[in-house]
Amino acid sequence: MPDAANHLTFALICLGMVLTPGPNMIYLISRSLSQGPKAGLISLGGVALGFLFYVISAALGITALIFAVPFAYDALRFAGALYL
């Protein structure tokens, strides 16, 4: 069982991922400027939900499964592309 120091380190790394500017920030800025603050906030909710999914997946070891089974990565990647 991970101790408090490991949980704190994990939380700080997740916070760093969220605060690092990237494509999601460009997406949020462009949505906010072109369609208004309401669309920007809705988009922010979607981005936050995506980060939450990633954090939960990593915590549960799904990331390890994807690295161990290349087909699982491809299946998840194609499912995400079809969803979009």
What are the extents of the domains in the chain? Answer: 4-83
Q: What is the pLDDT of residue 6?
A: 86
Residue 1 in this model has a pLDDT that exceeds 70: no
Q: What pLDDT shows up at residue 38?
A: 95
Per-residue confidence (pLDDT) for residue 71, from 0 to 100: 86
Dist CA 81 CA 59 (whole Å): 23
Confidence (pTM): 0.54
**Between 84 and 40, where is the model more confident?**
40
DSSP one-letter string for 45-73: HHHHHHHHHHHHHHHHTHHHHHHH-HHHH
The Cα-based distances of 78 to 16, 48, 68, 73, 75 in angstroms read 27, 22, 18, 9, 5
- Mean pLDDT throughout 66-71? 81
Dihedral of CA 35/17/12/79: which sign? Answer: positive
The model's pLDDT over 13-57, given as tens digits with 9 standing for 90+, comes to 888 887 778 888 889 989 999 999 999 999 999 998 988 888 888
Q: Which residue has the higher pLDDT, 58 or 40?
A: 40
